[in-house]
Structures are given as structure tokens and as C-alpha cells.
Amino acid sequence: MQQFTCPFCGPRDETEFHFGADAGKLRPEGADVSAEVWADYLYGTENRKGETLEIWMHLICGEFFKLRRDTVTHRVLAAMPLHAESSR
Amino acid sequence: MTAFRLAHGGDWIDRETEIRFRFDGCSYAGFAGDTLAAALLANGVGVVSRSFKYHRPRGIWGGGVEEPNAIVDIRQDGLRSPNARATLVPLRPGLEAVSVNADPDAAHDRLGFIDRFARFLPAGFYYKTFMWPDWHLYEPRIRRMAGLGEADPAWRSARAADRRHAHCDLLVIGGGPAGLLAARIGAAKGQRVLLVESERRCGGSLRHRAGGIDGKAAAAWIDETVTLLRAGGHRVLCGATAFGIYDHNLVGICQQHEDGRPDTLWRVRAGHVAVAAGALERPLPFANNDLPGVMSADAALRYRVGHGIVPGRRVVVATNNDSAYEVAALLASDADVTLIDSRAEGGPGIAGLHARRGVLVAGAIGDSGVRAVQLSSGERLQADSLLVSGGWTPSVHLFCQARGKLHWSDAAQALLPAAPVDGVSVVGAARDGLMPLGKLFGAVAEAMNAPDGSAETTGAVSTGPEAACGVGAFWPFLGSQGRIWIDLQNDVTAKDVALAVRENYVSVEHLKRYTTLGMATDQGKTSNVAGLAALSEITGQPIGALGTTTYRPPFAPVPLATMVGLQGGELLNPIRRLPLEAQHRAAGAIFQEYGGWLRPAYYGAADAQAAIQAEARKARESVALFDGSPLGKIEVFGPKAAEFMDFIYYNTMSSLAPGRCRYGFMLSETGVVFDDGVLIRLAENHFIVSCSSGHVGAVRMRLEEWRQDRFGRDAVFIHDATAALATLTVSGPQARPLLQRAGLEIALDDEALPHMTVAAGRFDGAPIRVARISFTGDRSYEISIAVERADGLWRRLREAGQAFSAGLLGIEALMLLRMEKGYVVIGRDTDGTTMPHDLGMPGPRNNRKAEFVGRRSLFTEAANAGNRLNLVGLQVAAGEAPLPVGAHGVAMQDGRPRSIGFVTSSGSSPILQRPVALALIEAGATRIGETITLRHLGEMRQAVIAPACAFDPVGDRLHA
């Protein structure tokens, strides 16, 4: 079982976490969002081999955060709050 | 078998404590410190099991975890445990063991004749025969004839296995010389060390092989090391098998206790893992090498040193390596010993030992035990015990589980760990194969000091005799006349391997699955390398090029009960309980689980249907009390709370006035209805999300997601108060008079508290919140109060209700009431495609301009298709039974029936005196009045599509 690091609670078992999305994925908005763009937003994930930056939620404290990890080695490289001001 | 126990000797047993036990119905005696296997040997029991497939007699092969043959069912303390390895079962008073796959017992198995037909039952025979007319006709019988122990369906552990979590800097797996030294070095470096040893005592090979360390006897050094570690605050666990290594160095360890306590399952998160699991001795390939009396030479040494047992009077020791010489030399004082070395040269010279060199064992001769040994030279030796050593297989399982790769070493005649894996080292015989103790200590010290290179800690010096460790190749000879057994536990011979290759199963993974080589409970611990060697000989490829099958946990079988521990039954997913459960029980409630909560289904045990009908009727005719405490109460505060609610909900919520409530949907981004419920606006910047009971956790997560992603912590704050407040509901035409009588400090007249409003009041000094929200279609008041004050309020409501002969409402009756009204339960009356316009609420989709969750998805092609499933009611002819839930509406298309939707809720309405049903039907909203055909389990019914709301469609009763 992997161990992820919540920036607020420290290292915890992966079962305490829930995947959110690829980091940097923007929600397309407005009247003219094409079906293709919307479908990609709903269902497309990068599933990148190697280093990734993802949004995860720590179910215990309820905080979303950014997790940099390697999908091949499963190494956890860094964990950061979602927004800079959250680090207070 | 002619093994016997000497009158003296046996370092591991206590001859003062005799223990009686039973095996296959006979009574025997052994000593404390014996394993079941040792005690059986001491009693001369040669045949301990029947083989998996051919029912051949089998004896004890090994001394530990590798044992392929001696599989027994254990009955002790009233419990029956299947498939224990006799080599690992400590002898305890009252132990009863039964051999598996034998009838009536291992010595006289009725199915022993099957072996005579073995030539007709090669690998994969069942794929080729028993095909006509249908394999399933034969399967049950064949399964009964093959196999291992029996699971006892009535098995219950007296106490659940413990689960313990531990962290350490260094986890050492294996308490032999390499593991003990590795642990000492770690401790000396200031690491927190955990050492696990699968045997009852630490020491590994040092316990039964000659050696001295730091000028001391090996036993003294072992004790000193264990004492040193424990005194330093480190943990040493014995009887503990590391069975799996998982991501980020999580190691699963199953610890069995000698006193019969339930196992302990350890989950250890280790900074670094040192695998010092040693090596396992392999059999030699020759005809009939599975005969009882053929035993691992190293195991024989263990039984001699540890238990004072000699395997026979005339012993042949056959080997391809140096390690068996020590065995032959020691046994020579108790028996007539001849050593057969397959190598013409090399090997330690031992004076006075009868030896043949450069000769192979061609076969073992005997029926249910060894009588003689046939040599390749033509010579035949009389013998009653044949000890063999076919080389050593390093225990690399955990290293391979951690994705380590192996390479073939000709010097060690074994697969050894190749490139290192992060966070895992392999040390000792597991890394390099067998080697002299001095060299081994040097290699361990080097490996353990390597990570930081700092403060060289040397550790131990071998000061005793140094064993030679040469080994030569000796692999299955495929032209052999007799059967050469490769996998003892799964009955796979060298010929089976050849057959598999002939049929083109040449990859090791295919070979494994076709022949079942390495698939049994021992997972090929003694057989895999011989299987590879046979494959190599046939295909002409070097062993190193063949690869190996994948190593997966568990290394050794772990009882499921140990894995489960306390996390089974109700504790697997603990049910949530109402604060007023005791009061409901006193009122005769029958409880069921609804959305994770244990709630009253109905009250009164006699006739469930009659009770439900009576409760529903009472609620319509006068008034009823309902416990709605699990209803979601998620508070949302903040300067952007209204904007937040607009984004979250399908409906516009910012236009709601403080003190008012509005029903709405939450959608997924896919546009599918995710939850429904009432939003209460208490103040300008304060809302309460009253979501469905079973969805509170998921809704809270969803709110958090959007809050953190889009609004920020300065704009919105979320607090889930669901568990803090009980919610008691009074519903029915007499609801207001009942409440007036109850004496709540709140204005209840309709000007002050009209439908869909909320107000604060007090009850007995405690603050209450009263919301006029209805899930029944009748005038209803939901009263929320702090959980600890709920009992008083409930009593007061029940007392006040006596004047109106108020009833209690369970969930089942409530479901009838809401069904009459066409009120949906999300997830029951909707599925993963249902959008708000399918439920008759297209307004916000058409009118809202602002962005909200799921909006774009409501305008896709699929969302606007004409054949979407819409929520409708279904009406059947007078006097008919309710429609079955799940019945499909069918239409004929191209001469074949096609589903046009299905019944989602159905019941019998007491107030309407007829069945009511809700259904999702294709384009149902445009087909009101049409008659459709429904099919369920072959039965056909007719029904008329009707509006979802069957009762009081105008909604007058909400205000009555």
C-alpha cells in the first residue's frame, strides 16, 4: 500500500486519499464550449507515464492538495497545498 | 519409514514434558518443543499424506515453510484448520491431525489405485478428456478426488486475530546468521530495528549446523544478539513470517503464537528492508524421488540435532553439493551411512565416510517407503532412508515481490538477486547462495554499511569450523524410465513438463498454468528451479534466459481469518445508529439498514405488510411521528455562500429569502442528478444543505471540492452538523395541533410559519429549529434539536400525540407515502443517466444563465435525445397486485422484444386503495395514458402510463 503525504497531516496510507484530477486541468465555461472540449474535460485524463502532478483529497481532513509523484516508481516527490495562501 | 528417536540428544525438546496427540485416528506421544512433523518421525510414521492428484503415499520432506507433502487438517481447541504444514505446527496437548486428500487415512487410502492409471492422467488431461457431453458432469467428482484439506463452514475463532501497525528504520526478515548480524549493525547505527524470524527461535542454520562466532558457541552468540537487540528497545518477533512486501515498504507479517492464541497480523512500514530469508534445499531429480523416506538432508540434520531423531538405520545421503557432507558425518555415528556425490571431484574430504563419487542416484525403490537406492553405476544399495540435497534455492520471494530481478549463477546453481531495489537489500544466503560463515559475515557487513558508508561497523567474526559450499549441476534426466517428480505438492513430473513443451506451452508462465507446476500452497518453493532446468534441457535455452514466474504474496499461506482480524462482519463497515434507537426498540421497531444507518423499517413484529399499511394510513388520516435524524445538515457560511449555492445547485438559490426553504437538485458534472433535497437559508450568508441521509459524506466532499477549487477558504466555510442534531418529524393533517399541544416555544400559525419556511424556537430551554418541509405530501414539521436533548422532545411529542392517537412512521411506510406523491429517491427512482428534465424539472436548464455544476452536459446531443428515460407513474387495473420492482417495459422491434424502461418503486397505497408505481420509461412524459406491456420473470403485465404523482396532485394537503 502506498503512502502519500498530506501537506497538513503528514504521511498516511493511500486508502485515506481520493484522486481528484490532473493538476492544471481547467473547467471550460461559457455558452460556446464545444462538445469535444467538454467531453475531454469530463473523461480525459493524462495518465502520464513517469512524473505527474495531480490533485488529491485527504478524506480525513477534507483538504485538496497537489501531489507530485512518479507513476512508474510510485515515488512521492512532493505535496503542496492547493493554493499558496492555504499554507498559512 | 524407520525413523526413530535416540534416547539422548535433541537441543530443542524438553524430554520431561510428554505431549500426547492423535494423527489419523491413532494416539502418539511426543515432547514439548517438537513440531507435529518431528513427533510423527519420532513415532516412525512414514506415510503422512496422499498426493494431490495421483493419491501416492508421501512422507515428510522438509523441516519448515518449504514442506510440500505433510499437509494436514488440524483440530484443536474445538477448531478445525485446513492445510497446515506439519513442519510448522507446534505440538500441543490435545492436538488432533488428519491427513488431507486421503480416505480413510494416509496409510490406507482407497483411491491409491489411481496412481496405476497415471499414464492416462497427464498434465491437462481434463482439458482433453471428460469433454463429452459436458465437463460439468464430471467436474464435481474429479474435484472431490483431488485437492487438499476441507474448510469447516462452522469455523468460528474464539477471538479475532490482532492487527498491529509498526514503524521501524530497519526491518530484517530472517533471524539466521545474516539477519542477526544485519540487525546488530542497524542497532549499532542507531536505527530502530524490527527483526522477524519465522521459526520459534532465532538462529536459522546456526541452530543445527556447526559454527562458532566471536569465540563463542553459535547458540551463545544467538542468545547474546537477541538479548542485545531487545535490551536496546528493538523488537524481535519469532514465529513471524513476512509474507508480502507492498508499495513503499509496507510489509505484511503473520505471527503465530505457540500457546494457541489467535495470530497477530503485523503491518510494518519500514524505512529499509533487509531480506535475510536464507535458502531452501532442493530435491534431487531421480525416478520415484517422491517415495516416503526420501527427505531433505538439511531437514534430517535439523531433526537429528533439534529432536534427537535419526531418519533410518541404513541411510543413503545423495548430493550434488558440499552441504550434505556435514549431515552424513553426523548421522554416521547413529546409522550406517553412505554418501553419493554426483560430482567426480571436489567436496570436503571426511575421514571414515563411505562415499561414491561421480555417481548419480537413478531411482528410489520401494512401495510405501524406501527399500533400496538404484545408482547410475548399476549398483543397488539397501537403504531405509534416502537423504537428498539438490542444491539451494535462495529465498528471493520478497525481493522479487518488490520488483527485484534475478540472474542465473552457475557458481551457486541458483537464481540470485540482480540489480538492487530501492529500500530493499538482500543479504546472506538469499543473496549469494550458501557460503562459509566468515565470508557471509563480511558480505553482510559490507551490504549493511553501504547505504551511508559511514561508521564502519563490522559485527561478527566466524571462529568455528567453516563449511565448504561447492555445488554441481544435477538436473532432471528426461530419458528416465521411471517418473521423476518435480512438484511434489501438485504431482507434476518431468514428463508433464516435456508434454507441455510438446504442446507449445514453452513460456514459464504457460508451463506453470498448463502443468500446475508451482501453483500449490507451497508455490513451488522446492520445485521451481528443477522445472526451469527441465524446460531448459528440452528447449535448449539456458536457464537464465527462461525467466521465472511472477512472485506474488503471500510467501506462505496466511489464514483468511488472520487477514480479516476484527475487520469483519459488522465491523467491516460499522453501521450508524440513531440517538433514539432504544426508544424505537421500546416501541417495537423492526430495524433495517438504510444508507448506512440502522433505522426502524416498521413498528410491530407480527405482520410486516399490515403494519406498514396501517402506519401509512395513520399518517394520511391523522398524524404520525418519524425519526429523520440521519437527514443531512451541512451548514454553509460565508460572504460568497449564496454564490456558492447557486453554483452547486441546479436551481437558483441566491433568490431564496432568509427564513425560507427550496427544493433542488445537485448534479454531477455529467449532468446526472446526484442528490436532491431542501436548501434552507437561515440568514443572508448562512445556508443548511439538507441532503439525503445516505449521501451526506459524498455531498460534503463535493462541496469541499468546489469550495477549495473555486471559492477559497475566505469566501465559504462548510460544517457538517448531521451527527450533532436529531431531526424529529411530525406529519399529517393533525400535525399542527399536536405541536401546539407539545408546548414548543415557537409561533406555529401559517402566517408565521408557512410551507417551505424555517424558524427558530425553544423546547424546555433547548434551541430548536423547525422547518416546514414535507416528504409525505402532508403538512409536516421537521424539528431539529441537539442530540442529547432529543429524548425529551421525542417523549413530549409522543405524549402530545396521544390525544390524536398519533402513529409512528417507519421507513417502509414513508416510502409508500412519498411514492404516492411521486417524490423520487435518487439512486432508486433514478439511475446513472437521469437528468433533471427527465424528472420533470426542465426550468433551470432552459432559463438559468449563470454557470452551475453539470450545466454544459445538459445540452449535449444525448441529453436532448427523444427517447430518454423519464420518470412516470404506472397504473394497473383495479384488483391487480402491485407491479414487481425491476419489471421491464417491453416493445416489439424487428420482431424481438426490447426494453423501454423499468419499474423503480412499487407498492400498495392504503389511502388510494390500489397499487402505485414509479418507473423510468422511454419518452414517458409524452406518453401519459398509453398502455404498455411489462415483463418480469416470464410474467407479462399491462399498465397505463400516468403522471408520477398519484395522490393530491395539486398539493392542497401541504397546507391543510
Distance from CA of A2 to the nearest CA of B (A): 5
Residue of A nearest to B703 (CA): A62
User: Residue A74: which of B248, B705, B713 has the nearest Cβ?
Assistant: B248
User: Residue B669: which of A14, A35, A42 has the nearest Cβ?
Assistant: A42
Angle (nearest 5°) at CA B95 between B91 and B96: 130
Question: Residue B852 has which C-alpha cell?
Answer: 452551475
pLDDT band at B472 (very low <50, low <70, confident <90, very high): confident
Distance, CA of B162 to CA of B101 (rounded, Å)? 31
Q: Which residues contact A76 (CB under 8 A, 6 or more apart)?
A: A2, A3, A4, A5, A67, A68, A69, B248
Question: Residue B787 has which C-alpha cell?
Answer: 442530540
Closest CA to A7 of A59, A77, A66: A66
Question: Residue A54 has which C-alpha cell?
Answer: 495531480
pLDDT band at B449 (very low <50, low <70, confident <90, very high): confident
Closest CA to B221 of B189, B176, B185: B176
Distance from CA of B868 to the nearest CA of A (A): 19
- Strand B309-310 with B4-5, pairing: antiparallel
User: Residue A86: which of B422, B713, B857 has the nearest Cβ?
Assistant: B713
Substitution target from B268, B708, B849, B858 for chain A, most A beta carbons within 10 A: B708
Q: Which residues 233-252 of B are in CB contact (within 8 Å) with A? A: 246-248, 250
Substitution target from A16, A58, A64 for chain B, most B beta carbons within 10 A: A64
Angle (nearest 5°) at CA B803 between B800 and B808: 65
Interchain CB contact of B701 with A (< 8 Å): yes
Interchain CB contact of B856 with A (< 8 Å): yes
Interchain CB contact of A42 with B (< 8 Å): yes
User: Residue B248: which of A2, A42, A64 has the nearest Cβ?
Assistant: A2
Does B247 contact A73 at a Cβ distance shorter than 8 Å? Answer: no
**In this prediction, what percent of chain B has a pLDDT beyond 70?**
98
Distance, CA of B87 to CA of B72 (rounded, Å)? 10
3-state DSSP assignment of residue B246: strand
Does B708 contact A64 at a Cβ distance shorter than 8 Å? Answer: yes
Distance, CA of B126 to CA of A64 (rounded, Å)? 54
Interchain CB contact of B567 with A (< 8 Å): no
Residue of A nearest to B244 (CA): A1
State the average pLDDT over residues B531-548.
90
Q: What is the pLDDT of residues B249-271, one digit of tens each?
A: 999 999 999 887 899 999 999 99
Interchain CB contact of A87 with B (< 8 Å): no
Substitution target from A4, A12, A13, A60 for chain B, most B beta carbons within 10 A: A13
Q: In what order do the strands lie in the sheet with B336-341?
A: B294-296, B385-389, B314-319, B336-341, B354-357
Does A57 contact B246 at a Cβ distance shorter than 8 Å? Answer: no
Residue of A nearest to B246 (CA): A1
Residues of chain A neighbouring B250 (CB-CB closer than 8 A)? 1, 3
**In this prediction, what percent of chain B has a pLDDT beyond 90?**
78
Answer whether A34's CB lies under 8 Å from A65's CB. Answer: no
Torsion, Cα of B668, B669, B672, B674 (10° steps) = 0
pLDDT band at B524 (very low <50, low <70, confident <90, very high): confident
pLDDT band at B311 (very low <50, low <70, confident <90, very high): very high
User: Residue A2: which of B247, B700, B860 has the nearest Cβ?
Assistant: B247
Interchain CB contact of A26 with B (< 8 Å): no
Residues of chain A neighbouring B404 (CB-CB closer than 8 A)? none
Residue of A nearest to B268 (CA): A1
Distance from CA of A13 to the nearest CA of B (A): 10
Residues of chain A neighbouring B247 (CB-CB closer than 8 A)? 1-3, 14, 74
Does A3 contact B247 at a Cβ distance shorter than 8 Å? Answer: yes
DSSP letters, B14-77, are: EEEEEEEEEETTEEEEEEET-BHHHHHHHTT----EE-TTT--EE----SSTT-SS-EEEEEET
Question: Residue B340 has which C-alpha cell?
Answer: 553419493
Strand (E) or helix (H) holding B795: helix B790-801
pLDDT of residue B644: 98
| B921, pLDDT greater than 90 | yes
State the average pLDDT over residues B146-174.
86
Interchain CB contact of A70 with B (< 8 Å): no
Residue of A nearest to B862 (CA): A35
**Mean pLDDT of all residues belonging to chain B:** 92
- Residue type at B809 in one-letter notation: L
Question: Residue A49 has which C-alpha cell?
Answer: 507515464
Distance, CA of B854 to CA of B833 (rounded, Å)? 13
User: Residue A57: which of B670, B701, B860 has the nearest Cβ?
Assistant: B701
Does B422 contact A73 at a Cβ distance shorter than 8 Å? Answer: yes
Interchain CB contact of A19 with B (< 8 Å): no
pLDDT band at B567 (very low <50, low <70, confident <90, very high): confident
Q: Which residue did the predictor score with more confidence, B559 or B37?
A: B37
Answer whether B92's CB lies under 8 Å from B31's CB. Answer: no
User: Residue A3: which of B248, B670, B857 has the nearest Cβ?
Assistant: B248
Interchain CB contact of A45 with B (< 8 Å): no
The ipTM, to two decimals, is 0.95
pLDDT of residue A88: 37
Distance from CA of B245 to the nearest CA of A (A): 9
| B457, pLDDT greater than 80 | no
pLDDT band at A87 (very low <50, low <70, confident <90, very high): very low
| B241, pLDDT greater than 50 | yes
Q: What is the pLDDT of residues B787-815, one digit of tens each?
A: 999 999 999 999 999 999 999 999 999 99
Distance, CA of B792 to CA of B509 (rounded, Å)? 68
Summarize chain A as % helix, strand, coil (round to 5): 20, 40, 40
Distance, CA of B60 to CA of B65 (rounded, Å)? 12
pLDDT of residue B34: 96
Closest CA to B96 of B5, B26, B4: B26
pLDDT of residue B455: 53
Distance, CA of B331 to CA of B305 (rounded, Å)? 10
Interchain CB contact of A24 with B (< 8 Å): no
Residue of A nearest to B852 (CA): A29
pLDDT of residue B205: 95
Substitution target from B248, B250, B848, B859 for chain A, most A beta carbons within 10 A: B248
Does B250 contact A3 at a Cβ distance shorter than 8 Å? Answer: yes
Q: Which residue did the predictor score with more confidence, B481 or B629?
A: B629
Distance from CA of A3 to the nearest CA of B (A): 6
Does B705 contact A35 at a Cβ distance shorter than 8 Å? Answer: no
Distance from CA of B670 to the nearest CA of A (A): 7
Q: What is the pLDDT of residues B639-693, one digit of tens each?
A: 999 999 999 999 999 999 999 999 999 999 999 999 999 999 999 999 999 999 9
Where are the extended beta strands (E) located within B256-395?
Answer: 264-275, 279-281, 294-296, 309-310, 314-319, 336-341, 354-357, 361-365, 372-375, 380-382, 385-389, 392-394
Residues of chain B neighbouring A70 (CB-CB closer than 8 A)? none
pLDDT of residue B451: 57
Distance from CA of A68 to the nearest CA of B (A): 15
Neighbours of B764 (CB within 10 A): 13
Substitution target from B267, B853, B856, B857 for chain A, most A beta carbons within 10 A: B856
State the average pLDDT over residues B199-218.
94
Answer whether B265's CB lies under 8 Å from B565's CB. Answer: yes
Residue of B nearest to A84 (CA): B712
State the average pLDDT over residues B92-115.
85
pLDDT band at B54 (very low <50, low <70, confident <90, very high): confident
Residue of A nearest to B697 (CA): A59
Residues of chain A neighbouring B860 (CB-CB closer than 8 A)? 35, 38
| A79, pLDDT greater than 90 | yes
- Residue type at B407 in one-letter notation: H
Q: What is this structure's pTM?
A: 0.88
| B124, pLDDT greater than 80 | no
CA A72 → CA A50, A52, B706, distances in Å? 5, 10, 30
Does A1 contact B713 at a Cβ distance shorter than 8 Å? Answer: no
Does A1 contact B861 at a Cβ distance shorter than 8 Å? Answer: no
pLDDT band at B155 (very low <50, low <70, confident <90, very high): confident
pLDDT of residue B137: 80
pLDDT band at B348 (very low <50, low <70, confident <90, very high): confident
Interface A-B, measured as beta-carbon pairs within 8 A, has a size of 49
Distance, CA of B481 to CA of B499 (rounded, Å)? 15
| B599, pLDDT greater than 70 | yes
Distance, CA of B271 to CA of B167 (rounded, Å)? 8
